[in-house]
């Protein structure tokens, strides 16, 4: 947490540490799904797009990629219009690995999980890049977590701040 990049971003997790950790997760997932013909990797847009792209290239099992869009607006699931979930997934009877960027309050993940379970997958596991357990408002647990972080607003490696910084190869704390 020492480097200050030109754009006033303090580096929290450098790119080489992310690469190392994604490799570890890929190996763990490969072991856990040993013998599976295929898994369906569902990437939650937009924030998980870089993580998912790196992760699937470290998984030694054929992956079918799919995508879901989630936008959170408040404190309730889609029934009340507060977390909007858009998808056209067909995952009935499939082994599904959901890839999410960050579990913060837990609301988005709990809503997505409930939605995907309605589609009757054979199994559903969750892999998230970042977990902020101290910010949790509703129960939400991932099976695989790359990094647990304090309750700080972060950006980079797919995550944005007001639409910016997704392209950064590291995870950092924007100055404002
Ligand atoms: P939730 O509060 O767990 O529902 O998180 C909702 C979404 O907010 C996440 O999937 C992220 O896209 C976004 N989010 C939460 N915390 C951060 C952050 O620190 N930086 C960037 N996006 C975040």
CA 48 to centroid of ligand 1, rounded, Å: 11
Ligand 1 center to 60 CA (angstroms): 29
pTM above 0.85, yes or no: yes
Confidence check: pLDDT of 107 > 50: yes
| pLDDT exceeds 60 at position 15 | yes
Q: Encode pLDDT of 167-176 as tens digits.
A: 999 999 988 6
Comparing CA positions, the residue from 3, 47, 37, 16 lying closest to residue 153 is 47
Backbone angles phi, psi at 133, to 5 degrees: -60, -30
- Tens digits of residue pLDDT in 139-153: 999 999 999 999 999
Q: What is the per-residue DSSP string for 9-76?
A: EEEEE-HHHHHHHHHHHHHHHHHHTTT-S-EEEEEEETTTHHHHHHHHTT-SS-EEEEEEEEEE-SSS
Give the pLDDT confidence score for residue 8 in this predicted structure. 85
Residue closest via CA to ligand 1's atom 17 equals 153
Query: Does 151 qualify as catalytic in the annotation?
Result: no
Q: How confident is the model at residue 77 (pLDDT cuts 50, 70, 90)?
A: low
Distance 104 CA to ligand 1 centre (A): 6
Left, alpha or beta for 152 (phi > 0: left; psi -120 to 50: alpha)? beta
Per annotation, catalytic residue among 31, 66, 101, 104: 104
pLDDT at residue 84, rounded to an integer? 84
Ligand 1 site residues (CB inside 6 A) read 47, 72, 101-109, 153-155, 159
CATH classification (class only), 6-72+80-174: alpha beta
Give me the count of residues in the chain: 176
Task: State the pLDDT confidence band at 75, using cuts at 50, 70 and 90.
Answer: low
**Residue identifier of the C-alpha nearest atom 13 of ligand 1:** 102
């Amino acid at each position: 947490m020492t480097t200050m990049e030109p754009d006033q971003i303090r580096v929290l997790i450098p790119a080489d540490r992310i690469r190392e950790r994604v490799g570890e997760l890929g190996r763990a997932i490969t072991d856990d799904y040993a013998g599976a013909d295929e898994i369906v990797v569902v990437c939650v847009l937009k924030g998980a797009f870089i993580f998912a792209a790196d992760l699937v290239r470290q998984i030694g099992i054929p992956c079918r990629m799919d995508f879901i869009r989630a936008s959170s607006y408040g404190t309730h699931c889609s029934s009340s219009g507060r977390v909007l979930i858009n998808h056209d997934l067909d995952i009935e009877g499939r082994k599904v690995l959901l890839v999410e960027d960050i579990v913060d309050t837990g609301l988005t993940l709990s809503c997505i999980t409930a939605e995907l379970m309605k589609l009757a997958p054979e199994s559903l596991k969750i892999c998230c890049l970042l977990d902020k357990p101290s910010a949790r408002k509703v129960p939400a647990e991932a099976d695989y977590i790359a990094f647990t972080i304090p309750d700080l607003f972060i950006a980079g490696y797919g995550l944005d701040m007001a639409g910016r910084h997704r392209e950064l190869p590291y995870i950092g704390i924007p100055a404002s």
